[in-house]
């Protein structure tokens, strides 16, 4: 039989034990993954590849919710304002976490303070593409020609302030090429002008350029990675023309609202890492040009470090471009 003193202590500790017990049983209902862009894009495609296995590991459905708008800010804000219980997860990319805070005066959330990283999942390299009829058909020759004719070689991006635009600025700074940035409204929008010869070149995501490269409609001359990749072993990295580290890549990772308990974060991270380690998942991801993050990057601490690097690169590129928050 409990003594009176033991009973008093047990009663006092009971409220503290309840959250721990609740975390031990987590999740007890479906987990919502918020994709801050429309269905069918690369980010949406990748999270739908891994979500079935995550659901299996968590023992609960993983529901994908597309909430596009404001360059990814609408969906990110919804997660930032959600209950910090692990049931609402942000599937984030460069825009909402890195670029937008540098380029927008009014942000509806704090990209650093309002989220806790779960893990980085994917990197999507940006590539330099030209028409097969363009006179310069190697990366070295392209930049030698551009450097010799500063201000005469055009290079398109998916828009001002996008990751591929910022990479163009870093390439100009590293090579002295003087590429003239031509902003389009979306990834792949410059393809008709490249094919027709109206446009000299473009920097775009590999997932957009790869089908045209394989069909011979466009040619990938270089890739924004520290080194060459197995999918395109004959394509040089931008490090080979002097851009240290290869420049900026697009990334996709998972985050939850700040103050989310450690238990749900650990369960989500373990489920995400297990899905990324699956050979079938890896094959599907890499076949369309994406790369799986390293095991270290897949952890909360590793993702946090990667974000610091990406923010510093983007900050430098924004300064080079002379962009101001609007």
Each residue of 283-326: pLDDT tens digit? 999 999 999 999 999 999 999 999 999 999 999 999 999 999 99
- For 18-31, what is the mean pLDDT? 72
If you average pLDDT over residues 89-94, what whole number do you get? Answer: 97
Residue in 149, 163, 159, 218 with CA at minimum distance from that of residue 189: 159
Q: Is the pLDDT of residue 8 over 80?
A: no
Mean pLDDT over 43-58 rounds to 97
Q: What is the mean pLDDT of residues 273-277?
A: 98
Separation in Å, CA 49 to CA 7, 14, 206 = 51, 41, 18
pLDDT in tens, 176-217: 999 999 999 999 999 999 999 999 999 999 999 999 999 999
Cβ atoms < 10 Å from Cβ of 7:
11
Q: Which domains does the chain have, with CATH numbers?
A: 29-123+250-321 (3.40.190.150), 126-246 (3.40.190.10)
Of all residues in the chain, the percent with pLDDT exceeding 70 is 93
More confident: 12 or 228: 228
> In the predicted model, is pLDDT for residue 174 greater than 90?
yes
DSSP class of residue 99 equals I
28-46 pLDDT, tens per residue?
999 999 999 999 999 999 9
Q: Please give the pLDDT value at position 24.
A: 66
Residue 23's pLDDT band (cuts 50, 70, 90): low
What percent of the residues of the chain are helix, what percent strand, and what percent coil, each to the nearest 5? Answer: 45, 20, 35
Between 22 and 136, the more confident residue is 136
Q: Could you tell me which residues come within 8 angstroms of residue 22 by beta carbon, excluding any fewer than 6 positions away?
A: none
Confidence of residue 64 (pLDDT cuts 50, 70, 90): very high
pLDDT for position 124: 97
DSSP bridge partners of 122 = 252, 292
Q: What is the DSSP letter of 242?
A: T
Mean pLDDT of the residues in the chain: 93
Contact (Cβ atoms closer than 8 angstroms) between residue 227 and residue 246: yes
233 phi, psi to nearest 5 deg: -65, -20
């Amino acid at each position: 039989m409990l003594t009176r003193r033991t009973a008093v202590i047990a009663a006092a500790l009971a409220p503290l034990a309840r959250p721990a017990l609740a975390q031990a049983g987590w999740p007890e209902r479906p987990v919502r993954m918020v994709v801050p862009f429309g269905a069918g894009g690369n980010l949406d495609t990748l999270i739908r590849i891994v979500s079935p296995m995550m659901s299996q590991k968590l023992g609960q459905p993983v529901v994908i919710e597309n909430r596009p708008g404001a360059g990814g800010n609408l969906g990110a804000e919804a997660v930032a304002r959600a209950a910090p219980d692990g049931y609402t997860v942000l599937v984030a990319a460069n825009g909402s976490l890195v670029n937008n805070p540098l380029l927008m005066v009014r942000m509806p959330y704090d990209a650093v303070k309002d989220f806790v990283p779960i893990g980085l999942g994917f990197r999507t390299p940006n590539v330099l593409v030209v028409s097969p009829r363009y006179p310069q058909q190697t990366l070295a020759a392209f930049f030698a020609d551009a450097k010799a004719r500063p201000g005469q070689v055009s290079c398109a991006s998916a828009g001002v302030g996008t990751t591929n635009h910022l990479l163009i600025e870093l390439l100009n700074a590293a090579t002295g090429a003087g590429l003239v940035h031509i902003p389009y409204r979306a990834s792949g929008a410059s393809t008709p002008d490249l094919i027709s010869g109206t446009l000299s070149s473009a920097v775009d995501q590999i997932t957009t350029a790869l089908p045209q490269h394989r069909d011979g409609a466009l040619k990938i001359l270089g890739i924004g990675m520290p080194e060459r990749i197995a999918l395109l072993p004959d394509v040089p990295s931008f490090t080979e023309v002097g851009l240290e580290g290869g420049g900026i890549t697009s990334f996709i990772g998972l985050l939850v609202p700040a103050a989310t308990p450690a238990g749900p974060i650990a369960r989500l991270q373990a489920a995400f890492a297990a899905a990324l380690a699956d050979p079938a998942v890896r094959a599907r991801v890499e076949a369309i040009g994406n790369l799986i993050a390293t095991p270290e990057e897949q952890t909360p601490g590793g993702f946090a470090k990667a974000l610091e690097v990406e923010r510093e690169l983007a900050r430098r590129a924004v300064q080079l471009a002379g962009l101001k928050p609007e």
